[in-house]
């Protein structure tokens, strides 16, 4: 069983009769990915902060309306000739990318799917649980590497020389088209041909081709992707190729003000580099994603999705993913910390999905004072719009139109409340849920959780 966020790549379902409307995007900020086309299901949590139901961030101002600000997954650069530009604007739900956790929620307008049953089963796994991504410590000064490391780190020129060959471009082709439909970036993980990128780059089903820093092209296959963390792994045949794996550093050691460098396929220009600083840490940019991001003012442009954010030692500490864009917003890019990405990437390579995540088997919408009052429902909670007949909730009499009030003793007011609580459980565990039935009766049940084996 799998739970996944409601996005263009997930199964769609009709909402329950009278279900709260998801609402349109308001003038505000949208979180946009910086890669290939695709738009992750939007849905912000109404009543859960300044986020609109359509995934837009509404900046608050005491003086009234403010100019539009959009969080957007920077769209991949379209082919320069006449290829369509893939607006890789993944309208991230209230805060960021679409992630798949044991319940894909659509906050306040975002459906949280918890019932997808597709995906590989653990019994089909043939690979052992191997560690693929190795995180290195701070290199010693003058450690004998090709670029001398001083206490202050490498120069920008030295970082470029060290890391440029480890970052690739990714061209996306539609099965029906010969021309490119989008461009993004990736990071070489190892000499076996594994390459890290973003889920929103590959989730739409386009065929990826990897372009190495020397211009060599190689077709790639998608190993696995996880929309909950916006991470993906593709693979190319390494035969005859000179692959230069990236060196990965400790993202937990980053501090505000640290110099960073972003490398990627910016706007279709391969081997592009920009420099900035760490502007923020532990940023939440989506109610549907568990990972908190690194904020930087290094330029993050369309096509940068999946590219590298490097520290002053030329080590990859982040995977560029998105930016905050708007008429009065500048230099607000976001990257996935490599320490948080590591277990996801290892699992995707080993299993094709993120192992040991749990699923409830429902799709929900977060309630607030407005949509709840219109229907005579609670002012907060997660309204069930669809439920899987295979879920334990269904077996215990829970139906569409019921409202999840608490999970594991935690009050549910937004998607992330449930997502975070479910992270404490393993497949086979039971969770205590308080549910308000459509009749108005409140019941407490103990539901068994299943493994989520899909990627959304």
In the residue annotation, 4 being an active-site residue is answered as: no
- Assess contact for 367 and 389: CB atoms under 8 A: no
Dihedral pair phi/psi, residue 121, rounded to 5°? -95, 155
Dihedral pair phi/psi, residue 415, rounded to 5°? -55, -45
In the residue annotation, 230 being an active-site residue is answered as: yes
- Assess contact for 72 and 25: CB atoms under 8 A: no
Dihedral pair phi/psi, residue 435, rounded to 5°? -130, 135
- The catalytic position among 25, 30, 213, 305 is 305
Q: How far apart are CA 214 and CA 225, in angstroms?
A: 26
In the residue annotation, 104 being an active-site residue is answered as: no
Residues forming beta bridges with residue 245, ordered by sequence position: none
Segment holding 137, helix H or strand E: none
Q: How far apart are CA 237 and CA 216, in angstroms?
A: 12
| Alpha helix stretches (DSSP H) within 287-367 | 338-351
Q: What is the DSSP letter of 28?
A: S
- The catalytic position among 4, 32, 200, 450 is 200
- The catalytic position among 204, 230, 297, 392 is 230
SS3 287: coil
Q: What is the dihedral sign for C-alpha 144, 145, 146, 148?
A: negative
Tell me the catalytic residues: 200, 230, 305
């Amino acid at each position: 069983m799998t739970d996944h966020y409601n996005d263009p790549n997930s199964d769609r379902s009709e909402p329950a009769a009278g279900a709260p409307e998801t609402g349109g995007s308001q003038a505000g900020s949208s979180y946009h990915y910086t890669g290939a086309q695709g738009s992750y299901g939007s849905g912000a949590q109404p009543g859960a902060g300044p986020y609109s139901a359509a995934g837009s961030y509404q900046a608050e101002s005491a003086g009234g309306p403010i100019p539009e600000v959009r969080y957007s997954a920077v769209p991949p650069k379209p082919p320069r000739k006449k290829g369509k530009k893939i607006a890789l604007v993944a309208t991230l739900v209230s805060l960021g990318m679409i992630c798949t956790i044991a319940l894909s929620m659509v906050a306040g307008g975002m459906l949280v799917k918890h019932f997808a049953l597709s995906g590989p089963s653990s019994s089909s796994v043939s690979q052992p649980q191997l560690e693929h991504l190795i995180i290195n410590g701070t290199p010693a000064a003058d450690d004998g590497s090709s670029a001398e490391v001083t206490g202050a780190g490498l120069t920008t020129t030295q970082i470029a020389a060290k890391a440029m060959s480890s970052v690739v471009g990714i061209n996306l082709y539609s099965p029906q088209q010969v021309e490119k439909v989008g461009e993004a970036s990736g990071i070489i993980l190892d000499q076996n041909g594994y390459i890290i990128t973003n889920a929103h780059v590959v989730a739409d089903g386009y065929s990826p081709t990897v372009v190495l820093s020397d211009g060599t092209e190689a077709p790639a296959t998608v190993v696995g992707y996880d929309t909950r963390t916006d991470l993906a792994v593709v693979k190319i045949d390494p035969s005859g190729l000179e692959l230069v794996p990236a060196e990965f550093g400790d993202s937990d050691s980053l501090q505000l003000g640290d110099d960073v460098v972003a490398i990627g396929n910016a706007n279709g220009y391969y081997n592009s580099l920009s420099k900035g600083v760490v502007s923020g840490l532990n940023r939440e940019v989506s109610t549907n994603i568990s990972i908190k991001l690194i904020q930087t003012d290094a330029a993050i442009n369309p096509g940068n999705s999946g590219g590298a954010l490097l520290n002053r030692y030329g080590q990859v500490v982040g995977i560029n993913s998105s930016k905050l864009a708007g008429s009065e917003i500048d230099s607000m890019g976001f990257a996935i910390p490599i320490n948080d990405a590591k277990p996801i990437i290892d699992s995707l390579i080993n299993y094709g999905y993120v192992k040991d995540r749990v699923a409830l088997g429902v799709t929900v919408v977060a309630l607030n004072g407005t949509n709840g009052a219109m229907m005579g429902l609670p002012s907060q909670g997660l309204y069930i719009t669809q439920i899987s007949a295979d879920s334990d909730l269904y077996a215990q009499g829970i139906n569409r139109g019921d409202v999840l009030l608490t999970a594991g003793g935690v009050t549910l007011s937004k998607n992330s409340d449930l997502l975070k609580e479910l992270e404490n459980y393993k497949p086979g565990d039971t969770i205590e849920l308080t549910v308000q039935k459509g009749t108005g009766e409140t019941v407490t049940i103990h539901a068994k959780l299943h493994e989520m084996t899909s990627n959304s």
